[in-house]
Structure 1
Amino acid sequence: MPQFFSNKRLIILLASMIVLVALIGFSMKERENITWPEQFLHDAVGWTQTVFYKPAHFVAGFFETVIEMKDIYEQNKVLKLQLNDYDLLASRVKDLKRENETLRKSLDKKEALTDYKVWQATVVGRSPDRWYQTVKINKGHQSGIKPDMAVISADGLIGKVDKVSPFHSSIELISSHDPSNRISAVVQGEKGPVFGLIQGYDQKQKVLLMKMIPIDQELKKGQTVTTSGLGGIFPKGLEIGKVVKVEPDKVEPTQTAYIEPAADLYDIHHLMVVDRSMQEVNVEYEDKPVEEEEAS
């Protein structure tokens, strides 16, 4: 009996292996249709994959999106910093370029003013409510600055020294509304010099007013106005501006010329204080005795 059961198990094992091989061969055979057990297994595996794949794909995509958003945020932060640095650099380059051009003009002006003593100065203060009245520079008594010295920029006349402290000075601009702020000016006309007084500033039109021009004198648009040197403060030949238009006075028999300033009175940075000392010639007369003729 025991041997029979052993043979039976061997027969079952061999039969099972034959069936398994047959199934494997049958499944590997190229067919257009598969059996219903295969269909059931195939669909079951597909549904299982779908159930687990979609949530897993969603979670993985979510974390990928979060990581990507974090990277984009960091990149955006770096780009903003670089953009701010670029704006600051561009602004600084623009300021340096303007300063360089101004200093070049100042150097050319200084070389031209051979008859003047020149102090280079920088504007360090300006009151918003007195923007067209005064500015403060970084030169004072210790540098040799004195009241009533003329002040120019690289383009033209700016004003005069008003108040002086040891290390700073207050500059009264030519656009100041002070009634005593007058400048003797001259225009070289076709028939000779035409004199007048720079007195007043039209802030709306951004022009100086040249008054007291004789009614019979003719001025043309574009003519250059300079200091005449007759006022006792400003040296002769400092450029003030150019004639824009001329109108007759409504009361007196004179004309008023509107002058566009040569210098930028709104944006002022670098200035020059100039002084020309007139050399006085002292003539000494020797007292020679007069020989009286003796009466013969």
Structure 2
Amino acid sequence: MPPYVPPGPLDADARRQGIIAVTFLVLAIALTALPPAGKQVVASALRASVLRPFLGLQELVVSASQRTLDVQQLQARLDSATARLAVRTTLEEENRRLRALLDLAARVETPWRSAQVLRPGTQGSESIFLLNVGSDDGIPPRAPVITREGLAGVVREVRDDHSIGMDWTHPDFSVSAMSRDGAVYGFVEVRRGLFREEDRLLLTSTPYHTRLESGDEIVTSGIGGVYPRGIPIGRVIELAEEQGGWITSYWVEPYVSPGDVVQVVVLLGSADSVADGAVPPPAFEQDSAVYRGADLSALWPEGETGTREERWNRERLRADSLAALRDEVARLQQTIDQLRGVDSVSTGPGGQP
């Protein structure tokens, strides 16, 4: 007969696990036999004691998942609202530009054509733009291109269905100019900077004995007949230089930003050079003065000129003032109606109290 060997650690663990398994089996059988009310009591006790940490952890996981879902939904709504706002802002800006251009075109007495500006986008053509109108539409070479703010450029070449123009940043750009009151005459030319944002206009060849102040407006003079008289160019910033005590030059801030030009009006010639209902000739000679005597100063009244941002700010302030005035009139009308109601109550028939 072999000697007795006491159970080792592994046998003790196996026995303990077996006892635990049998205990849980007995408890499961006992719980199965309990009535529904008893099962509910046991379940509540287990949730409040043993299962409480696990249930709390599960609630945290579910809450985090719900918050993640809410954040994703809010982000989607924000993206959608941002996209709608961007589209609305673009449409509002386009509508403002078109309304301003229509207002300008309605007052232009010289023949004109509306056109859309396209930029080539190639290196070296930053100062060049394309117009979707050409000689078939009556566009002549050297036709002025204007916007609601003022002079944007000039047509250089004309094709059958499109034209090529240059804005004021082109090195060949030059225009005979004067102060708005006609006291000072000169030529406006471009001075290129190290970067395109640094390009500036310079009013040159002005008489030494006459002075311009900062803020004085510069418009086309009409000399030479290429540009009509009175188209805004910009405003004087400061004195640039004095040459030998004879002439002076001034830096000029342009009203038209080339990058913002999308819709324009192309002038075809003076009213005297184009018969009523007739299409102007596709070209004219270099020395022809088709705009001689034409004056467009009335299109840009004093105090209504400036950059696009300045013009929009004035329109916004005007709209706010009108809205405030309407609200004030409505309040006054409401007060008058209330006073009339009080008078009607305080007086009897026939106006007797």
For the aligned pair, the TM-score class normalised by the smaller chain equals 0.5 to 0.7
Q: Does 1:238 align with 2:228?
A: no
Report the aligned-residue RMSD. Answer: 3.0
Contact 1:105 1:155 in 2 (8 A): no
Q: Does 1:249 align with 2:239?
A: no
Alignment partners' CA distance in 2, 1:164 and 1:67: 70
Greater radius of gyration (CA): 1
Q: Does 1:82 align with 2:90?
A: no
Equivalent residue number for residue 176 of structure 2: 184
Closer, same or farther in 2 for the Cα pair 1:128/1:91, shift >3 Å? farther
Alignment of 1:111-130 (within 5 A): 111-114=106-109, 116-127=110-121, 129=123
Contact 2:138 2:268 in 1 (8 A): no
Of Structure 1 and Structure 2, the greater strand share is in 1
Equivalent residue number for residue 147 of structure 2: 153
Report the 3-state secondary structure (helix = DSSP H, G, I; strand = E; otherwise coil) of the residue aligned with 1:81.
helix
Shift in Å, 1:117: 1.7
Q: Percent identity, aligned pairs only?
A: 24
Q: 1:233 corresponds to which letter in structure 2?
A: V
Equivalent residue number for residue 292 of structure 1: none
Report the 3-state secondary structure (helix = DSSP H, G, I; strand = E; otherwise coil) of the residue aligned with 1:255.
strand
Q: Does 1:225 align with 2:215?
A: no
Contact 2:236 2:251 in 1 (8 A): yes
Contact 1:215 1:248 in 2 (8 A): no
Equivalent residue number for residue 209 of structure 2: 216
Closer, same or farther in 2 for the Cα pair 1:252/1:148, shift >3 Å? farther
Equivalent residue number for residue 136 of structure 1: 130
Equivalent residue number for residue 306 of structure 2: none
Q: How many correspondences in the alignment? A: 229
Alignment of 1:101-120 (within 5 A): 101-114=96-109, 116-120=110-114
Unaligned runs of at least 5 residues, structure 1 = 1-45, 282-296
Q: Does 1:207 align with 2:200?
A: yes
Alignment partners' CA distance in 2, 1:84 and 1:126: 32
Alignment partners' CA distance in 2, 1:65 and 1:127: 55
Alignment partners' CA distance in 2, 1:246 and 1:228: 20
Contact 2:180 2:230 in 1 (8 A): no
If the length of structure 1 is used for normalisation, what is the TM-score?
0.67
Shift in Å, 1:75: 2.0
| Residues 177-214 of structure 1, C-alpha deviations (whole Å, 9 max, x = no match) | 23xx211112244xx53221111135565531111112
Unaligned runs of at least 5 residues, structure 2 = 1-41, 275-353
Equivalent residue number for residue 164 of structure 2: 170
Q: 1:258 corresponds to which letter in structure 2?
A: W
